[in-house]
Structure formats: C-alpha cells, structure tokens
Structure 1
Amino acid sequence: MTEIVKGTPITLDKLRNLRLDLNAMALFEEATGKSVFKIGSDMSARDLRALLWACLRYEDKNLTLESVGGMVTPQNLAEINTRLVAAFTAAMPEVESEVSQGEAPSR
C-alpha cells in the first residue's frame, strides 16, 4: 500500500519519521483537548511534546509522552519545530489553481 502522507525524517534518539495523519491529529486532540488546526505561536511545551509524540506514534506504538519529552532539549528544539512544520506541510493537500489546470482564470 502506498503511503498517503509521507514521513518527515527527524533525528532524535535515533532516526525517526514524523507523520501527521488523521490518527496523529486525533492523538494530539486526545492528549491536549485542542485541535491541531488551532495551535499556533502560543503553543505550550505540553502541546509541542504531544504533537511530536502523536506524529511519531505511527512508527512506534510504545512511545509515551514522557519518553518523547526526554528527546527534546534546548539544543534540538529549533530543529524539531522545523521538522514539525515540514510534517504539517507534507500532510496538507496541494492547492491547484484554475490556471495550473489549463483553464483561463475567471473574471
């Protein structure tokens, strides 16, 4: 079966892959009570840990929030944020404009 959402590689305790699919979104929501679509610049440390954990769970069901939290340090925080944004971007559908589909733009 083809992967619908491509994993985003990240080096933590070892090379892992982040994937933001519906299961990860639901896990994040269960852990935080928040929708992944409503988090932004006010993301707390708990939110960051939960999002990272949720995106890693498809690959390793034994991960806990605490074990994932132990992989995050001030030294790798910026890289983790960058990789989470990349995972979010990879999960979102590409928007095709009318022009790219060969049609003239409507006026």
Structure 2
Amino acid sequence: MGYTPIELDKVRNFRYGMKAISLIEKKLKAPIAKIDMDSLTMEESATLVWAGLAHEDKNLTPDKVMDLIDDYSTLTEVMKAMETAMEEAFGVAEEPGKNE
C-alpha cells in the first residue's frame, strides 16, 4: 500500500489501511461502506483526514487537522488528496463495458 502526499505544515502522507478504516468506523459509529461521503460534516471530514494521517503523527487529532487545513491548504485540495488515497486503498471499480 502506498502513500498519498499532501502539503500542510509539512508534507504529510495519507494511508488508509485497516487501522485507519477502524479509526473512522469507531469515531463515526458506522461501517465505512455506510458512510455517505457526499454529505459529510466538517467534523466528519476532519475525522477522515485525521485517520489517514494518524499513522505518522500519534498526536494529531481531528481538531488539529482542521487547524492545519485552515492554516496551510484548502478543504478542496485536502479532500481531493484524501479521495485519491482512499481510491488506492479500496481500488476503483471499473465502469461496465470497459476493457471488454
């Protein structure tokens, strides 16, 4: 499993392995497959980002993630990088009819 970098206070790397997914599920109290990624609150968005970055910074919290995004980036940029990392972790379903 690779890493997806994002520039915040420093280069940080998203990684969504089993531990990160478990952190998300515990914090949001729902299986990852049941989380509606299109209607996340800011706190839920920060939780997803935090879980993907926590592997390299044990002191990081969702609240600190919000500060990092506000101070060093934009929510749009960070969410795009997070989406790329999640697609890598879960694979991207191919559209029907492709590669046939």
1:19 correspondence with 2:15? yes
Task: Quote the Cα distance in structure 2 between the aligned partners of 1:81 and 1:94.
Answer: 17
RMSD: 2.4
Contact 2:3-2:14 at 8 Å conserved across structures: yes
Aligned with residue 62 of structure 2, among 52, 61, 65: 65
- Residue 88 of structure 2 is matched in structure 1 by 90
Higher relative contact order (CA 8 A, sep 6+): 2
Which one has the largest radius of gyration?
A: 1
Aligned with residue 46 of structure 2, among 43, 46, 49: 49
Unaligned runs of 5+ in 1: none
Residue-pair matches, total: 96
Q: Relative to structure 2, which stretch is displaced further, 49-58 or 70-79?
A: 70-79
TM-score (norm 1): 0.76
TM-score (norm 2): 0.81
Unaligned runs of 5+ in 2: none
Runs of 4+ in 1 over 3 A off after TM superposition: 93-96
CA shift for structure 1 position 35 = 2.6
